[in-house]
Amino acid sequence: MSLPHIILTLLHQNPATGYDITKQFSSTVGFFWKASHQQVYRELNKMAELNWVSHTIEPQSGKPDRKVYTITTTGSQQLSAWLAEPLQHPTTRDECGAKFYATLWLNSAAFQSQLQQLITQTQDELNQLAEQERTTYVVTSKLNTQQRIERLTLKRHQLSLDAWLNWAQEVLIELNQR
């Protein structure tokens, strides 16, 4: 039940089109949530019915009309209510853990090479994230609130990839010892 509220959060910051919102899911917001444009458009329609958002149509020359959505008062109330709800960890669905578990009874060679590949890929991603951190959020003391939040969002992602990497390397050792 988070997707509509994440969209409301983005609209709370700025009125935007479905397209604008979709783009944000592949940048900063993407560190904690992914959504395709189909999901975004459908949610916007639903929220319009519930009167959580309203929209105006802006004609453009040579391009399709922009449907610009704005959050309503009802929408704002929904957002605040959502923030106050109890927190839970997301339910884990970890294919990698499942496959490792399966190696008890099955040949693990194929899994091992796939794991090695994901490890390499993850190391690359961590390097990129570190680079991004260095270039964008250098001097911690000079960051404004928005930047500090973005930095912590990035850090969340780094920490979980890092935790996974440590685990995966131990798994490789275990598989090699058999």
Partner DNA sequence: GTCGGCATGTAAGCTGTTACATGATTGA
Partner DNA sequence: TCAATCATGTAACAGCTTACATGCCGAC
Query: Would you tell me which residues interact with DNA (CB under 7 A)?
Result: 1-4, 17-20, 22-23, 34-39, 41-42, 44-45, 60, 62-67, 91, 93
Distance CA 69, CA 20 (A): 10
> Is 91 or 107 the residue whose CB approaches DNA more closely?
91
> Is 10 or 35 the residue whose CB approaches DNA more closely?
35
To a copy of itself, the closest distance from the beta carbon of 123 in angstroms equals 13
Contact 126, 158 (CB under 8 A): yes
Residues ≥6 apart with Cβ < 8 Å to 161 = 122, 125, 126, 129
Binding residues (CB under 8 A) for a copy of itself: these are 2, 5-6, 9, 12-13, 28-29, 31-34, 79-80, 82-108, 110-111, 114-115, 117-118, 122, 145-146, 148-149, 152-153, 155-157, 159-164, 166-167, 170-171, 174, 178
To DNA, the closest distance from the beta carbon of 119 in angstroms equals 22
Distance CA 151, CA 141 (A): 12
Q: Which does 9 bind (CB under 5 to 8 A by kind): DNA, a copy of itself, none?
A: a copy of itself
Report helix, strand or coil for 54: strand
Bridge partner list, 69: 16, 55
Instruction: Compute CA 107 distance to the chain's CA centroid, rounded to the nearest angstrom.
Output: 34
Q: Which does 36 bind (CB under 5 to 8 A by kind): DNA, a copy of itself, none?
A: DNA
CB count within 10 Å of CB 108 equals 19
To a copy of itself, the closest distance from the beta carbon of 60 in angstroms equals 28
- The first and second tokens of residue 114, run together, are 């796939």
> Is 60 or 80 the residue whose CB approaches a copy of itself more closely?
80
